[in-house]
Amino acid sequence: MSGAALWTGEEFAAAVGGRVIGTMPQTITGISIDSRTIKPGEAFFAITGDKMDGHDYAKAALENLGSIAVISEKKAPRVGRVWPAVIVDDVLAALTRLAVAARARSDAKIFAVTGSVGKTSTKEMLRLALGVDGEVHASVASFNNHWGVPLSLARLPKSAAYAVFEIGMNHAGEITPLTKLVRPHVAIVTNVEPVHLEHFASVNAIADAKAEIFTGLEPGGFFAIINADNAYAARLADEAKKYDAQIMTFGAAPDASARLLMYSVLSDRTAITASILGKDIAYSLGAPGRHLVQNSLAVLLSARLADVDVKAAAEALGQFQPPVGRGQRHVLHVRGGRATLLDESYNANPASMRAAIEVLGQTRSGRRIAVLGDMLELGHQSEDMHRELAGPLDQARVDLVFAAGPHMRALFDALPASRRGAWAATSAELEEAVLDAIKPGDVVMVKGSLGSKMGPIVAALNRRFAAAESAA
């Protein structure tokens, strides 16, 4: 995000508020909250997080060629002689003010995505599909919370023709302020599933929380895009109508605005035939999985509503690759041959776990091995929801299951002895058993909630079975 000016110094100071110490730079080339990755010319916002305080790194940010630091009045004495700086009442509030200014000056068509599963992959598909028609700005990684959305919006260039924002939540009321900040022209709900049940009385309550995204829709009958195949589609549509939204749907349902006609999952992609507002189109998605197929329909429908050429947008989806930890494939060089690793380690809930197991079942290689960590925040239903994965694992003809965590014990005990690889209380304790089990031809899928720490198992597999070992 270095190079071209994102903000003039004058615009930046006016939007952020507060008082300037030192000489204000003429231009700001980007916005950063990480002193380690800040680029020359970027402004550093000293955000206070759950584990770290950006004020401790403000000096390092400027030493790394940041152009200016934004720090709070209360913490300025502790930070010391760091300038140029803007001293503000609250750093997150100042970032939010900059986000408001970015949205106010933008002529881009704005898209917002939420849902229990598939937010990030849908956002990345939108980036590709809309990019055939003009400059696209989109959230990086999963910047979808109370600081990630303002940060992503503050980075919106005035020149962008399209902007895509991911909006997440795990409590009721969290989406409303974020969608009102983004003010989308198109709001997409990928699905509603039983996730974060620890914080909700029912899945109906989760649906209502997801429907908050419609509260920020720009007035004038803009679009709410809803999964027609989801059990909560009607509930979401009723909420969207309260905000004068035009309801559009996607899925296999006969009356869906973007309707799935046929699809075929191949080893590394999916061939799809769909009808987008009555016009049939055949295209290829650069990753396997029905859950991705569903969301690609929402993407092409969004492109059509934005007057983007749907054929060109569909062709662009052939380039789609799953984000890190969400289905990326790796080749493991095992002695005597190769195995395949499906990295689904970023996060997990019952819906995404089933989708990942389904993809594993569609592989056409040797043994299918699932390495699964606890799904968290499921409340009193957690044990049942883990145990119920035995059915999808059976349907997918998974040969061996390794499980980590106290909740996954319920699943492990429900499996027949022939499918039990190993169980351990933590992913670290399970790691060696997984490494020792891999053979040529295996397809290994690793998945779990962030808190179950399955990522290190993925890293260990890639280290152990690097190309050098194959040569040895």
Tell me the pLDDT tens digit for each residue of 360-398.
Answer: 998 877 899 999 999 998 988 999 999 999 999 999 999
Higher pLDDT, 200 or 198: 200
For domain 106-319, give the CATH number: 3.40.1190.10
> What pLDDT band is residue 467 in, cutting at 50, 70 and 90?
low
Question: How much of the chain, in percent, has pLDDT values that exceed 90?
Answer: 85
Q: Does the pLDDT at position 14 exceed 80?
A: yes
- What are the structure tokens assigned to 259, written together? 């309707």
> What pLDDT band is residue 324 in, cutting at 50, 70 and 90?
confident
pLDDT number for residue 466: 84
Q: Does the pLDDT at position 2 exceed 60?
A: no
Mean pLDDT is lowest, of 246-250, 285-289, 466-470, for 466-470
pLDDT number for residue 28: 97
Question: What value does the mean pLDDT take over residues 264-273?
Answer: 89
Q: Do you know the residue count of the chain?
A: 472
Question: What value does the mean pLDDT take over residues 108-127?
Answer: 96
Distance CA 168, CA 411 (A): 28
Q: Does the pLDDT at position 472 exceed 70?
A: no
Measuring CA to CA, how many Å separate 70 from each of 98, 100, 172, 399?
A: 12, 17, 30, 54
> What pLDDT band is residue 470 in, cutting at 50, 70 and 90?
very low
Q: How far is CA 344 from the centre of its chain?
A: 12
Helix (H, G, I), strand (E, B) or coil at 160: coil
Question: What value does the mean pLDDT take over residues 86-111?
Answer: 98
Q: Does the pLDDT at position 462 exceed 90?
A: yes
pLDDT number for residue 80: 84
Residues of the chain with CATH 3.90.190.20: 328-471
Cα–Cα nearest to 10, from 24, 21, 22, 23: 24
Q: Is 117 annotated to bind ligand?
A: yes
pLDDT number for residue 147: 94
Question: What value does the mean pLDDT take over residues 6-22?
Answer: 96
> What pLDDT band is residue 3 in, cutting at 50, 70 and 90?
low
Distance CA 410, CA 421 (A): 14
Q: Does the pLDDT at position 146 exceed 90?
A: yes
What are the φ/ψ torsions at residue 243 (nearest 5 degrees)?
Answer: -115, 25
Question: What value does the mean pLDDT take over residues 161-184?
Answer: 97
Question: How much of the chain, in percent, has pLDDT values that exceed 70?
Answer: 98
Pairing of strands 258-265, 186-189: unpaired
Question: Quick one: 7-91 is in which CATH superfamily?
Answer: MurE/MurF, N-terminal domain (3.40.1390.10)
Question: What value does the mean pLDDT take over residues 166-192?
Answer: 97
Q: Does the pLDDT at position 469 exceed 70?
A: no
Q: Is 391 annotated to bind ligand?
A: no
Cβ pair 339, 367 in contact under 8 A: no
Question: What value does the mean pLDDT take over residues 269-298?
Answer: 95
Distance CA 71, CA 82 (A): 9
Cβ pair 162, 111 in contact under 8 A: yes
Question: What value does the mean pLDDT take over residues 428-438?
Answer: 97
pLDDT number for residue 1: 42
Residues of the chain with CATH 3.40.1390.10: 7-91
Tell me the pLDDT tens digit for each residue of 25-52.
Answer: 999 999 999 999 999 999 999 999 888 9
Q: How far is CA 199 from the centre of its chain?
A: 20
> What pLDDT band is residue 182 in, cutting at 50, 70 and 90?
very high
Q: If you average pLDDT over every residue of the chain, what do you get?
A: 94
Q: Is 451 annotated to bind ligand?
A: no
pLDDT number for residue 364: 77
Tell me the pLDDT tens digit for each residue of 50-72.
Answer: 889 999 999 999 999 999 999 99
pLDDT number for residue 444: 97
For helices 290-305 and 119-130, the axis angle rounded to 10 degrees is 40
Measuring CA to CA, how many Å separate 269 from each of 5, 207, 325, 343?
A: 38, 31, 17, 16
- Name the class of domain 328-471: alpha beta
Q: Does the pLDDT at position 468 exceed 50?
A: no
Q: What is the DSSP letter of 341?
A: E
Mean pLDDT is lowest, of 274-278, 422-426, 466-470, for 466-470
Beta bridge partners of 446: 343, 371
Q: Does the pLDDT at position 168 exceed 50?
A: yes
Q: Is 121 annotated to bind ligand?
A: yes
Q: Is 379 annotated to bind ligand?
A: no
